[in-house]
């Protein structure tokens, strides 16, 4: 399969960048690994936590040489090690750091992912959203209970209250997902600074861009601009399985249809 990737981040309205993102690829084995972390904690604690996630991802990728045995096991071990490394880093540096995590592993025609917190993975089929991960947050629980709508999540006062994350006293409770992929299947990983400002329809437009590197930078800048001077950090990673043709600008009739939330 012909695959391309892109990633970008923006500091937004914050004084410190606490989002980190990385993309790893081994086209010879058909293996790709995307990782995004949104750190939390003052005095550089959040930034160090997110950096620790990416450093751990790099070590795991280099150890498996692009050929992990069991994808779910690889992702779970990576997540738990990132958690332990953040706790060790916090103790050594005297900071208090935590982080979300969302990671995608592609092995030939199989996609596996893992997430903790409110950083999301969106799975698209062409420009149409197919499913997304469920946040580990108070607000997601309110949506699941029917007390608020999906559209009200980004503006709810409890949006940033996580129920699960890396770096806490307890080991994180992870959520896994998987799918068989083919041309026209695409994945978008992002922090809450992105999904709170950019709609799924606009994400579909991003995925139709002819130049993915340019498009990711454009849309993180747009998210930061919309959020304004008090906006959060923004980060984004995208992987798409190419089709024969891409539209540079999707028609106004493109819209999201069924949205399945993966738990």
**Domains, the chain, with CATH or none:** 3-262 (3.60.40.10)
Considering only 112-116, 165-169, 225-229, 259-263, which range has the smallest mean pLDDT?
259-263
Confidence of residue 258 (pLDDT cuts 50, 70, 90): very low
Q: What is the pTM of this model?
A: 0.90
Question: pLDDT at position 192, please?
Answer: 96
Name the nearest CA neighbour of 53 among 70, 68, 71, 75: 75
Question: pLDDT at position 263, please?
Answer: 44
Any idea what the Cα angle at residue 241 is, between residues 237 and 245, rounded to 5°?
115
Question: pLDDT at position 127, please?
Answer: 81
- Residues above pLDDT 70, as percent of the chain: 92
d(CA 173, CA 94): 25
d(CA 112, CA 119): 16
Q: What is the mean pLDDT of residues 142-148?
A: 91
Q: How many CA atoms within 13 Å lie on the side-chain side of 78? A: 34
Q: Are strands 3-10 and 234-241 parallel, antiparallel or unpaired?
A: antiparallel
DSSP secondary structure string for all residues of 203-246: HHHHHT-S-HHHHHHHHHHHHHHHHGGGPPPEEEEEEEE--S--
Question: pLDDT at position 151, please?
Answer: 85
The answer to whether 88 and 52 are in contact (CB under 8 A) is no
Number of residues that make up the chain = 263
Question: pLDDT at position 256, please?
Answer: 37
- Report which of residues 97 and 150 the model is more confident about: 97
- Report which of residues 146 and 66 the model is more confident about: 146
**Element (DSSP H or E) covering residue 179:** strand 175-180
Q: What is the mean pLDDT of residues 85-94?
A: 90
- Residues above pLDDT 90, as percent of the chain: 76
pLDDT surpasses 50 at 246:
no
pLDDT surpasses 50 at 254:
no
Question: pLDDT at position 243, please?
Answer: 79
Q: What is the mean pLDDT of residues 41-63?
A: 92
């Amino acid at each position: 399969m012909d695959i391309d990737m892109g990633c970008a981040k923006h500091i937004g309205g914050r004084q410190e960048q606490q989002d980190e993102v990385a993309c790893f690829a081994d086209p010879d084995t058909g293996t790709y690994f995307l990782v995004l972390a949104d750190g939390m904690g003052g005095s550089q604690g959040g930034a160090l936590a997110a950096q620790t996630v990416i450093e751990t991802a790099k070590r795991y990728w280099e150890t498996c040489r692009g050929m992990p045995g069991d994808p779910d096991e690889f992702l779970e071990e990576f997540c738990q090690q990132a958690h332990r490394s953040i706790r060790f880093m916090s103790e050594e540096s005297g900071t208090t750091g935590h982080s979300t995590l969302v990671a995608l592993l592609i092995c030939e025609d199989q996609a596996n992912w893992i997430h903790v917190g409110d950083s999301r993975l969106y799975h698209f089929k062409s420009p149409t959203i197919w499913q997304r991960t469920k946040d580990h947050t108070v607000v997601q629980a309110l949506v699941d209970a029917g007390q608020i709508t999906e559209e009200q999540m980004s503006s709810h006062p409890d949006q940033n209250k996580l129920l699960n994350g890396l770096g806490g006293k307890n080991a994180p409770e992870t959520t896994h997902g998987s799918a068989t992929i083919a041309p026209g299947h695409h994945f978008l990983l992002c922090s809450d600074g992105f999904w709170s400002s950019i709609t799924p329809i606009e994400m579909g437009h991003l995925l139709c861009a002819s130049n993915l590197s340019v498009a990711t930078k454009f849309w993180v800048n747009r998210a930061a601009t919309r959020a304004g001077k008090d906006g959060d950090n923004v980060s984004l990673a995208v992987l798409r399985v190419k089709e024969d043709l891409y539209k540079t600008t999707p028609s106004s009739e493109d819209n999201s249809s069924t949205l399945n939330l993966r738990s």
